[in-house]
Chains A and B, each alone.
Chain A
Amino acid sequence: EADIYQTPRYLVIGTGKKITLECSQTMGHDKMYWYQQDPGMELHLIHYSYGVNSTEKGDLSSESTVSRIRTEHFPLTLESARPSHTSQYLCASSVSGASYEQYFGPGTRLTVT
Chain B
Amino acid sequence: AQSVAQPEDQVNVAEGNPLTVKCTYSVSGNPYLFWYVQYPNRGLQFLLKYITGDNLVKGSYGFEAEFNKSQTSFHLKKPSALVSDSALYFCAVRCNAGNNRKLIWGLGTSLAVNP
Residues on A facing B (Cβ under 8 Å): 6, 33, 40-43, 45, 48, 58, 90, 92, 98-107, 109
Contact = CB atoms under 8 A, between A and B. Distances in A.
B83 interface: no
A100 B12 CA distance: 31
Given A104-B43, A107-B43, 9 more contacts: A40-B88, A42-B105, A90-B43, A90-B44, A98-B51, A100-B32, A100-B94, A101-B34, A102-B103
B contacts with A: majority SS: strand
B105 A102 contact: no
Contacts of A106: 42-43
A contacts with B: majority SS: loop
Interface in B1-40: 32, 34, 36
A83 B49 CA distance: 37
A103 B46 contact: yes
